A and B are shown apart, each in its own frame.
Chain A
Amino acid sequence: MIEPHVYQAIAEVVGPEFVSDDPVVRQTYSKDGAFPAIIKRYKKDPSAIPDLVVLPASTEEVQGVVRLANRFGLKVIPIITGSNMVSLCIPSEPRTIALDLKRMDKIIDIDERNMTATIQPYVSFARIQAETMKRGLWNGGTPLAPGSCGLLSNIINSGTWQSALAYGAGLRSLVNLTLVLPNGDILRTGSASIPQCGNFWCQGPGPELKGIFEFTNHGGLAVIVEATVKLHPWAGGKWPQEEIYDRPPLPANHRIYYIEYSNIESMNEAMYQIAHSGIGTHLNGASNGWVTSMTQRTEELAEKRWHEGFFPKHLIYVITAGISSPRQLEYEENVLKDIVKDTGGKFRDDLREEMSTWHGDAFCDGCGSRFQRHGSFSSMKLGCGHIDNHREFYERSQEIVKRHRHYMFDEETPWVYIFERGYYALFEDDTVFDQSDYDEVKQARDMNIDGFIRTPKEDLLDLGYYYSEPIITIFSSMVGPNLKHWVAQIKRIFDPNYTMNPGKLIGLEK
């Protein structure tokens, strides 16, 4: 319950039509795919419902709301598009404001010559891609989240892009941040902190402060109100094209290759060689379960083909781009052919038509989140390591699968993303569950807990997935308790009143 004078003060900052304490409005900000929130829902526990929803339109309005929150002892959870938000945007304490940043949706600037875009928080992948691709640029990535996902929420959630081979993790694309700190002050990082200097350098004067506010922040330290991100050359011409339904053509000057391997070891060897050769923008490994779930028009067909084993068990796909010249495509194809021959792979051109839904999703994700049609998804294991860790990761996943009821992806080799020319890979094994079936929810939750709490090992950055616990808490079990103390200290310095999204940066921070 927010007192009337507090409500009034906030309404004066953002305008009365952009603040609401109506139960109907508040209820729609309690939705979450995280197990604790789902279980609260089954128990009809109202603590996941914020007390107030506020829609600021500017940095100044965010400052005003945050200052009032500090003054009146409220908590603030910043929300962008709502995807990539699992467990992160739901109240964990009373007197919480859901700070919906929907009205801050502008692309402030696209600097074509210096290849950067400065954006407000509610800019989605789709929006930045639409505006940059027609200028011969793009942000360099598309997540396996819908294109409606906020670019910054995905980055801050350590989002992984299919094009990580060439452009790295989403976090690598951040240049500068402008933040509203919990006391309402503005902090600019990197070169943006020097007036008139411009947005070009993330290091800036002193240590790179940006790092503290990006990975694992989740609104627990500040509200990001503006960011500058890198752009990259785009060879694809006008995209999207007209009349794209389920079989979109590839963008111009791009090629895609599907290559089947008979085992994980030869697949790994090929991924190393392709990554090190310098060719391609996308290099990822997929399996029958993943591909069927994401590319088939209906869930019914996806299940049928999954059972049939329609797609190969060990499949990699490579995308090349003729950025410098169309002749680049010819050169990279020749290199790829040599590698595939050396590693015993088999080109599966016959899959190209069947997989063509993916041609859209690889550049501009529209349907890639189809894997959630069955219900919700949860990673049972998510890990980073060298490409060679692929086998080990798969075997650990299978140990978990044996202990639980499983569905679609679980008995498959993991989805593999190759980062930055092969320095590391990310492995992902997920499960799918129906939220409307409480038994399935509990099964999936047990699998999730098994995957990331009971079985992490220090030899692989074995993250599980932080659906239930802040990621720092998970890391601490591997790194040691000082990590947790260090982050708790940062939280105390920047947010002494625990105003910002309590419980999400670190568990038990008080």
Chain B
Amino acid sequence: MIKELAEYRHWCWNCFRDSMCKHVFTWHLRSADYDDICPTLTRYKFDAYAGQGKMGELARTIIEGEMGWSDKLLEVIYQDPLCGACDYICGRVAEMQPAQVIQAMRAKAIKDGIAPPGGFKAFLDDLREYLNPYRKYDAERINWLKGLSAELAEGTSTEKGAKTKTLLYVGCFPLREPGAQKMAQDAVTALIKAGVDVGILGERERCCGNPSLRMGDVDSFIAFAKENIKMFNDMGVKKLVTICPFCYSTFKRDYPDVGDKMNFEVVHILELVDQLIAQGKLRLSKPINLSVTYHDPCHLGRISDAGISGTGTFTGIYAQPRRILSRIPGVELVEMDRNKDDSWCCGAGGWLRNGYLELARWTADKRIEEAEATGAEALVTYCPHCEENLGEAIQRRGNKIKIYDLLDLVLQGL
């Protein structure tokens, strides 16, 4: 079950204010220059913006009825990418997860009839009307298919989606703008070229519910989750392949909390592509002479599943993208100081661009600064949200580094 705020009372009282949630996990710190891990705290500095301020004090005062809702309180709990850095670090040390509490604070606000602050109010209103985060009707979901060749479109028809055991869940991002459609097209291209028998839902696809959950609209999230789980079960889907890391994380980490049995396995396309390369079904033979650095999307990493990454419960999708890169001839990987579980968020987490664009942009600028410091020619990642936010930051900073989608590089290397 999705926990209510009051159920986190033990954590809220017992946060011992050790500042671990603010910094890269001690054993992994490589440089004093890249010690900060919490974008909101690093930007605004006051402890109220840190995990320990929100969980360890503000949540406690709400639970105990000591503090009522105010504009500042809402700003503090919504001005947060929910990137899970604090969950990872505090989880390792103290088995507490501040970002989970922050999400529960948002849910309590919505339950109390309080609207989210800033641009998030309109975002949530539109989400409830359009049932996706891009203010487009679901009928437009199939527009990205128009860019596919006839051969590829045939290989992954929506009719086939009704029968297939392997379903490619595309996600809402192609609705964003035409440029975003390429990521979906590349995913289909890679799978069909590897001979994967895969179908799609086309117009029948519905949002995974991630934006509703992140805004605190738990009831809407549960409705999305129940509808999707029922549809996938009824279709007999055995393997659900996702493109967008937000969707992946939502299916893996959040859907089990709804309580409905899921008769299907959730797989991210990078996991599948990694396997297909290993099996020789995708042969990377064309050299791409490029030094790259890799940005780990939070939703493929530390918050890709329930529990704490690296403590035995799960490990984020870290090895697969690096293995894929290592198999592209000519590609050299140079790591940023903050990587894997210790990555700095791109700034688009928690749909932050829709509520606090300035913070989202600042966060992305910091990440690009770090990427540029590696001396790599290109930044590679695999998330439509990271790519949008980091891509804009690269432009703002004078295009000193290129950005690539990992599957785009794979297709170039075939």
Once A25-B46, A83-B19, A85-B17 are accepted as A-B contacts, the answer to whether A245 and B311 lie under 8 Å apart by CB is yes
Residues of B within 8 A of A24 (CB): 48, 58, 67, 70, 72-73, 76
Residues of B within 8 A of A367 (CB): 92-93
In this complex, which of A18, A128, A147, A372 has the most chain B Cβ atoms within 10 angstroms of its Cβ? A147
The answer on a CB contact under 8 Å between B27 and A82 is no
**Does chain A have a CB within 8 A of B16?**
yes
Residue of B nearest to A441 (CB): B13
**Does chain B have a CB within 8 A of A113?**
no
The answer on a CB contact under 8 Å between B31 and A366 is no
The answer on a CB contact under 8 Å between A23 and B93 is no
Once A24-B67, A25-B72, A436-B9 are accepted as A-B contacts, the answer to whether A82 and B17 lie under 8 Å apart by CB is yes
Residues of B within 8 A of A82 (CB): 17-19, 47, 52
In this complex, which of B20, B30, B76, B311 has the most chain A Cβ atoms within 10 angstroms of its Cβ? B20
Tell me which of A26-34, A282-290, A384-392 binds B.
A26-34
Residues of A within 8 A of B233 (CB): none
**What's the minimum C-beta distance from B45 to chain A, rounded to whole angstroms?**
5
**What's the minimum C-beta distance from B42 to chain A, rounded to whole angstroms?**
10
| Cα separation A31 to B14 with both chains bound (whole Å) | 10
The answer on a CB contact under 8 Å between B311 and A246 is yes
**Does chain A have a CB within 8 A of B151?**
no
The answer on a CB contact under 8 Å between A30 and B57 is yes
Residues of A within 8 A of B280 (CB): none
Residues of A within 8 A of B64 (CB): 44
The answer on a CB contact under 8 Å between B57 and A55 is no
Tell me which of A64-72, A100-108, A255-263, A303-311 binds B.
A100-108
| Cα separation A205 to B338 with both chains bound (whole Å) | 45
Once A27-B61, A82-B47, A246-B312 are accepted as A-B contacts, the answer to whether A148 and B19 lie under 8 Å apart by CB is yes
The answer on a CB contact under 8 Å between A298 and B95 is yes
The answer on a CB contact under 8 Å between B26 and A148 is yes
**Does chain B have a CB within 8 A of A202?**
no
**Does chain A have a CB within 8 A of B28?**
yes
The answer on a CB contact under 8 Å between B14 and A130 is no
The answer on a CB contact under 8 Å between B67 and A146 is no
**Does chain A have a CB within 8 A of B35?**
yes
**Does chain A have a CB within 8 A of B15?**
yes
The 8 closest A-B pairs by CB, nearest first: A147-B26, A28-B53, A436-B13, A366-B26, A435-B13, A83-B18, A81-B19, A148-B19
Interface string of B10-42 (1 = CB under 8 A from A): 101111111110111111111110010000000
The answer on a CB contact under 8 Å between A369 and B93 is yes
Task: Select one of B12, B32, B73, B94 contacting A370, CB under 8 A.
Answer: B94
Residues of A within 8 A of B50 (CB): 28
Residue of A nearest to B54 (CB): A28
Residue of B nearest to A368 (CB): B93
The answer on a CB contact under 8 Å between B30 and A130 is yes
The answer on a CB contact under 8 Å between B48 and A126 is no
**What's the minimum C-beta distance from A44 to chain B, rounded to whole angstroms?**
6
| Cα separation A370 to B76 with both chains bound (whole Å) | 28
The answer on a CB contact under 8 Å between A146 and B58 is no
| Cα separation A260 to B72 with both chains bound (whole Å) | 56
Task: Select one of B23, B56, B72 contacting A126, CB under 8 A.
Answer: B23
Residues of A within 8 A of B195 (CB): none
The answer on a CB contact under 8 Å between B45 and A366 is no
Residue of B nearest to A239 (CB): B27
**What's the minimum C-beta distance from A135 to chain B, rounded to whole angstroms?**
12
A-B contacts, 18 listed (Cβ < 8 Å) = A24-B58, A25-B72, A28-B56, A31-B15, A33-B16, A124-B23, A126-B29, A128-B32, A130-B35, A145-B18, A365-B26, A366-B27, A367-B93, A369-B18, A373-B94, A376-B14, A434-B10, A435-B13
